[in-house]
Amino acid sequence: MRLLIASLQQLISRWAHLTRQQLALLSLAGFLLLLVLLGEGNHQPNTALIQTRLNQAQPVETWKANIQESEIRGVWITNVASSVLFAPWGISRAVHELADMHFNTLYPVVWNRGKSFYHSDTLKQLTGHAIAPLMTLTHPTADPHETMLKEGHKNNLRVIPWFEYGFMVPLHSRLAQQHPNWLTTRQNGSPYLHESSFTEGADNENADNESADNESADNESTESAEQTNGLLSRLLNSGAPSELGWLNPLHPEVQSLILSLVGEVVGEYSVDGIQFDDHFALPAAFGYDDYTVALYREEHEGQFPPTNTDDAEWTRWRADKLSQFVGVLHERVKATCPTCIISLSPNPATFAYRYHLQDWRTWLKNGWLDELVVQVYRDDPEKFEGELAKDTLQSSMDKIPVSIGILTGTWKRPISFEQIRAQVISSRDHHLSGVSFFYWDTLWSYFTPESPQQRRQNFRDLFADEPTR
């Protein structure tokens, strides 16, 4: 199988001359291949064990309470570079395998790329599609999110829908095309978001200050390079868009959209909560759109926002506006579903505030969060340990359950199980509430360093016990 992947990479280097129509057909073929490659790494779970567990199933209130006392073992299920939501058998098999490995929490995507992965009346009115179009082909009669909930609860797993894209949206999407005034912009009027904007580190600081001229040049060179070297990347990312923008979280119509989507999920499905992540934010380089500038001037005696995107008052003003909306969102969710938890999976606090204006420490202080799953995607053991030892993380544990998000790899960044195991053990040593892995398809597959069989056994051994918090 690895030889097949290598051969495919060699072939792609010769495809620069193909027409767009040919590339589209090739993308479809690549997607079908993706289903095979990712699906082949899975196996049929121990059905006898699962049936025994189902026969001994506890009342819903009992097993949910047990999870609150046990180590949280979660996994994110996305639609990008993943076959779970698209293969007719994908959801059921994934849930059964995770239950077999003693996982207890699912974070399945319900909002990504301006599309929903459940039946949304709101998006039906706005875009003409109640659900991502490809889902209607693979699930013509069933609601995939309802299937996820049914299978998850049947196997004693919490199901917490994940609004993966937050305010991020492809610029070619119907939402962005039909409502350009919903997009926020940089100082130069550009709506483009650099992919590196959500990569924690020094490179991010420079990327956020590039000019529109550089963006245009980058886009032109990128388009040329992608045709020759990036096609495999696009195939394996299920057509992930390269031109992304940002819905303005301060705009009342954008806020109304998010409230409607969240209201549908918590009001029409038996979910255990909802989750947002680092995309439920506002990149520090943005906020210079007409609406936000007018609002700022209204509250600052006609003064324009500072040109320095890192200006302390400008940063605080925008962060506070976002926080105000989080307070409204919290109130709406709890009014609709009092038992639903609000989970957030952010970057570490200092980075989240400086670069994303996401002041989750205030959200926690105000009681708007019920669970934190902090993304600590570090290869270096010392840096990983350093993040876990920070005061903000430790003090948060006194208020709500705090888990650690661990990267299990991507198709182009495989991660060994030794690193995964070491990080789980470190999280336990720091007395955190549990771990969650990004993402399902890299837990075990033919893209992982170890064989799928070995990875499954490793997870089974890692989660053999039932440690309590």
Question: Is residue 157 scored above 50 in pLDDT?
Answer: yes
468 occurs within a structural domain? no
185 occurs within a structural domain? yes
Number of structural domains found in the chain: 1
Predicted pLDDT of residue 274: 98
| β strands within 221-340, DSSP E | 244-246, 273-277
CATH code of the domain containing 196: 3.20.20.80
Q: What torsion, rounded to 10 degrees, do the Cα atoms 9, 15, 19, 22 define?
A: -50
| Cβ–Cβ < 8 Å for 389, 430 | yes
Reported as a pLDDT band with limits 50, 70 and 90, residue 99 is very high
Q: What is the pLDDT of residues 266-282, one digit of tens each?
A: 999 999 999 999 999 99
Predicted pLDDT of residue 412: 84
Tell me the average pLDDT across 175-193.
96
Reported as a pLDDT band with limits 50, 70 and 90, residue 17 is low
| Cβ–Cβ < 8 Å for 346, 278 | yes
CA-based nearest residue to 281, from 249, 313, 234: 249
How far is residue 149's CA from residue 108's CA, in Å, rounded to a whole number?
A: 10
303 occurs within a structural domain? yes
Which residues form the domain of 360? 2-462
Question: Is residue 228 scored above 60 in pLDDT?
Answer: no
Residues with Cβ within 8 Å of 126's Cβ and at least 6 positions away in sequence, in order, are 174, 175, 178, 257
Tell me the average pLDDT across 438-444.
93
Question: Is it true that the peptide bond before 377 is cis, omega within 30 degrees of 0?
Answer: no
Predicted pLDDT of residue 139: 86
Predicted pLDDT of residue 198: 57
CB burial of 19-49 (b: ≥16 within 10 Å; e: otherwise) equals: eeeebeebeeebbeebbebbbebbeebbeee
Predicted pLDDT of residue 48: 41
Predicted pLDDT of residue 112: 94
CA-based nearest residue to 251, from 305, 208, 294: 294
209 occurs within a structural domain? yes
Pairing label, strands 72-77, 105-108? parallel
Predicted pLDDT of residue 46: 45
469 occurs within a structural domain? no
Predicted pLDDT of residue 141: 86
Predicted pLDDT of residue 67: 55
CB burial of 154-179 (b: ≥16 within 10 Å; e: otherwise) equals: bbbbbbbbbbbbbbbbbbebbbbeeb
Q: What is the pLDDT of residues 232-241, one digit of tens each?
A: 444 445 445 6
Question: Is residue 49 scored above 80 in pLDDT?
Answer: no
467 occurs within a structural domain? no
